[in-house]
Amino acid sequence: MKTIPEYFGSHVFNDEVMQKRLPKDIYKRLKAVLEEGGSLDLSVANVVANAMKDWAVGLGATHYTHWFQPMTGVTAEKHESFINPKDHSHVILEFSGKELIKGEPDASSFPNGGLRATFEARGYTTWDPTSFAFIKDQTLCIPTAFCSYDGSALDKKTPLLRSMEVINKQAMRIIKLFPDEGITHVTTTVGVEQEYFLVDKKLYEKRPDLVLTGRTLLGAKPTRGQEMEDHYFGMISPRVSAFMKEVDEELWKLGIFAKTEHKEVAPAQFELAPVFTTTNIAADHNQLTMEVLQKVADRHGFACLLHEKPFEGINGSGKHNNWSLTTNNGINLLEPGKTPQKNARFLLMLTAVIKAVDEYQGLLRVSVASAGNDHRLGANEAPPAVISIFLGDELTGILKAIENDADYQKDCEHSMTIGVDAIPQFPKDATDRNRTSPFAFTGNKFEFRMLGSSLSVSCPNYILNTIVAEAFRQFADYLEAGHDFEHDLHQLLKDTIKKHKRIIFNGNGYTDEWIAEAKERGLLNLAATPDAIPYYITDQNIALFTRHGIFSEAELKARDAIQYETYSKLIHIEAATMIRMVMQEIHPAVSEYEQALLQNEVFKAKIYQSHQKNQLLQELSELNEKLYSNTEALKNSLRQMEQADTKTAALFCRDHIIPQMNKVRECADSLEEITAKKYWPYPDYTDLLYHL
Ligand code: ADP
Ligand code: MG
């Protein structure tokens, strides 16, 4: 049997494989493009493609695909086999440089927000050589970007790659203001903690809501929830353990550094975290991780639920996006330094993030907005919908001292004046891990905690990269123009802290007091997705994205349109599924139970004796009537919504459809509690959550 180091990355066409399989000069030319940018000669691409094919065929691959990330949020692939006819009865296996570099999927089947003119349905996928090709399901997968005929981005990878160039460019301007440390390149790094639920596949298949929408639209609370707080880090059952082992193995083969697996707070909930890596690779890896989780779950008789809120009343699933800035020579720029100089640079980086988050709260909020995540944010389990930064008391104290030109006093022994020339050394803050903060500094990185579990991390990261790059740009403009660096730097820190400190909050984000205080501070509180979407295309944000070449105005408007569309389509599917479940199964089932009760001799006798309707029967029939009429009302509203344009429809969902769905659910869940289990058509919460 192979050891982990032996099979780690065995299905990845990585640097080691390239070095081994490519002629020296070809390898060099490919590396040059990877490191310095530029485009690859077709002659070079041909050799690379051929080597890739030989390697892949050797590992059992028969097909190749351009693997891309359209704006649906999931990945897409169109498989082509390597075979080419040689003559009437023979084939050869071929893969050309042209096929490696460019693909032409039909763009009309993917969301494009109006970017694709009807006369030109073609879209192009182009190889992203910075993310290694890999083999999955006997298919060689080439990570690609997806653009329309005129080069407009139709995917989530393109803006992410653009944003990484932008933050490198602006961060390097800051780096150059400090003594040379051999830094030539800055990149962002990301580690994604992924939460998910496992349910038994047989039970899952009996629930159309889970199958069609990923969450239970109905279901009475189980008599045991998470109140015993006994699930977090608890023992993992052998069945789940076998699943996790296989997930790790599959991920390791794909070169993904899966590291931690544990139980989460809710029953049947788990988390997987990899070791961090470069952002665009982390984004690819997270997409792959979600896919592997679902496939391996299926093999083990489970369904893996990635929905943000599969069960009402039980904690939902999120995704923590740990983000930092790293240099080519391995310096973490968000790690407090050992000397005042390095701490000055650290504080400059830190205040840039503070400024960025404060100025672009709306954008960060919209980057995590989805119908699914609306069930979490602000619901006392995930961070609130208000964005704030947790820094910890020590760092906050230091910033306060800088702002007020005061002595920084951590304890009586260490008291020093804060000037840039004498910024104190301070330990990495490992104390308070405030779990309620949406955006927390955790010692040497920021943890963005508002992401929903099914979200692609691309969008939050290209937004983070871009807004921080913008803060760097403004800082660099100011500092480059000055004469007295130390003085200017001090002034800049002071001014920035003064202006943006309102975004810093170290307290409990779940309380009503905080929401009230946040309002007083002028922070945004965008509760639902339709409230957040308009922030994509405010003047400030169009200016930001176009200035840095991340998006054109047309590309932004397309994304705005897609978000409205996705939101209302999803709610529509949910409402329609709910109506079906009620009309086809629940209403008839309850009626049947009523009938059975009526025919039951004991019941009959009782009713006869008391000359009145039995209490249970009365309750059943009243609730069932109410269920029916509420569902009819929902049906009518849905018809009304179908007439509206996407934006109006989205608002209609928020204001009418969702509240009406809640009403239907309330009746159905009450009925579930009083209907004999053998009549109830669906597995209940206890079945789903406690039978792994
Ligand atoms: P937790 O948040 O659960 O306490 P850790 O602090 O150990 O967990 O780390 C969570 C994630 O943060 C991991 O995926 C880890 O690789 C990632 N991480 C650690 N350092 C960095 C960094 N410099 N940049 C990005 N991610 C990082
Ligand atoms: Mg975490």
The crossing angle, in degrees rounded to 10, of helices 340-359 and 157-175 is: 140
Q: How far apart are CA 512 and CA 520, in angstroms?
A: 13
Q: How far apart are CA 274 and CA 192, in angstroms?
A: 7
Question: What are the backbone angles phi and psi of residue 585, rounded to the nearest 5°?
Answer: -125, -55
Provide the percentage of residues in the chain whose pLDDT is more than 70: 92
Please give the CATH topology (third level) of the domain spanning 4-155. Answer: Ubiquitin-like (UB roll) (3.10.20)
Task: Report the nearest-CA residue for atom 19 of ligand 1.
Answer: 276
What pLDDT is attached to residue 432? 54
* Cβ–Cβ under 8 Å, residues 366 and 535: yes
Q: What is the DSSP string of 187-242?
A: EEEEEEEEEEEEEEHHHHHT-HHHHHHSS-SS-PPPS--STT---TT-PPPHHHHH
CA of 262 to the centre of ligand 1 (A): 15
Residue found under tokens 């002034």: 491
> Does the CB atom of residue 193 touch ligand 1 within 6 A?
yes
What pLDDT is attached to residue 149? 75
3-class state of residue 60 by DSSP? coil
CA of 389 to the centre of ligand 2 (A): 15
Best CA proximity match to 58, nearest among 21, 103, 31, 16: 21
3-class state of residue 417 by DSSP? strand
pLDDT tens figures, 209-243: 999 999 999 999 988 777 666 666 667 788 999 99
Give domain limits for the chain: 4-155, 164-412+425-551, 567-689
Q: How far apart are CA 606 and CA 233, in angstroms?
A: 52
For 636, the token pair is 């009518």
CA of 293 to the centre of ligand 2 (A): 19
For 44, the token pair is 């070079």
Best CA proximity match to 686, nearest among 196, 207, 223: 223
For 14, the token pair is 């990585």
> Does the CB atom of residue 443 touch ligand 1 within 6 A?
no
The crossing angle, in degrees rounded to 10, of helices 458-481 and 539-547 is: 80
Task: Report the nearest-CA residue for atom 3 of ligand 1.
Answer: 193
Q: Provide the β-strand partners of residue 88.
A: none
* Cβ–Cβ under 8 Å, residues 348 and 485: no
Calculate the CA 481 to chain-centre distance: 39
For 312, the token pair is 């009402």
Query: What angle (nearest 5°) sits at the alpha carbon of residue 84, between those of residues 79 and 89?
Result: 130
Query: What angle (nearest 5°) sits at the alpha carbon of residue 481, between those of residues 476 and 484?
Result: 100
pLDDT tens figures, 563-603: 999 999 999 999 999 999 999 999 999 999 999 998 887 77
Q: How far apart are CA 81 and CA 103, in angstroms?
A: 14
Q: For domain 567-689, which CATH number applies: 1.20.120.1560, 3.40.630.30, 1.10.3720.10, 3.20.20.140?
A: 1.20.120.1560
For the chain, the distance separating the N- and C-terminal CA atoms, rounded to the nearest angstrom, is: 29
> Does the CB atom of residue 189 touch ligand 1 within 6 A?
yes
Select from 232, 233, 261, 276 the residue to mutate for testing ligand 1; criterion: most ligand atoms less than 8 Å from CB. Answer: 276
> Does the CB atom of residue 275 touch ligand 1 within 6 A?
yes
Segments of the chain scoring below 50 in pLDDT = 118-119, 411-419, 430
Question: What are the backbone angles phi and psi of residue 440, rounded to the nearest 5°?
Answer: -115, 135
The crossing angle, in degrees rounded to 10, of helices 615-642 and 553-580 is: 150
Which ligand 1 atom sits closest to the C-alpha of 274? 14
In sequence order, which ranges of 82-176 are alpha helices (DSSP H)? 97-101, 157-175
Torsional sign, CA 452, 457, 463, 468: positive
E-only strand ranges, 396-487: 407-409, 415-417, 439-441, 446-452
* Cβ–Cβ under 8 Å, residues 161 and 77: no
Q: How far apart are CA 51 and CA 557, in angstroms?
A: 41
Angstrom distances, CA of residue 65 to CA of 15, 45, 88? 20, 16, 26
Question: What single letter denotes the amino acid at residue 515?
Answer: I
> Does the CB atom of residue 448 touch ligand 1 within 6 A?
no
* Cβ–Cβ under 8 Å, residues 333 and 351: no
Q: For domain 164-412+425-551, which CATH number applies: 3.40.50.720, 3.40.50.1100, 1.10.1740.10, 3.30.590.10?
A: 3.30.590.10
Q: How far apart are CA 145 and CA 122, in angstroms?
A: 14
Q: What is the DSSP string of 611-624?
A: TS--HHHHHHHHHH
CA of 131 to the centre of ligand 2 (A): 25
Residue found under tokens 């020590």: 394
Pairing of β 258-263 and β 269-274: antiparallel
Best CA proximity match to 200, nearest among 270, 316, 300: 300
> Does the CB atom of residue 273 touch ligand 1 within 6 A?
yes
CA of 134 to the centre of ligand 2 (A): 28
Q: How far apart are CA 299 and CA 294, in angstroms?
A: 9
Pairing of β 91-93 and β 258-263: unpaired
Residue burial 320-341, b: 16+ Cβ < 10 Å; e: rest: bbbbbbbbeeebbbbbbbeebe
Residue found under tokens 């030989």: 54
For 242, the token pair is 């076998």
Angstrom distances, CA of residue 632 to CA of 578, 638, 661? 11, 10, 11
Best CA proximity match to 303, nearest among 374, 438, 178, 204: 204
CA of 383 to the centre of ligand 2 (A): 12
Best CA proximity match to 170, nearest among 423, 361, 348: 348
CA of 317 to the centre of ligand 1 (A): 18
The answer, as to whether pTM is greater than 0.75, is yes
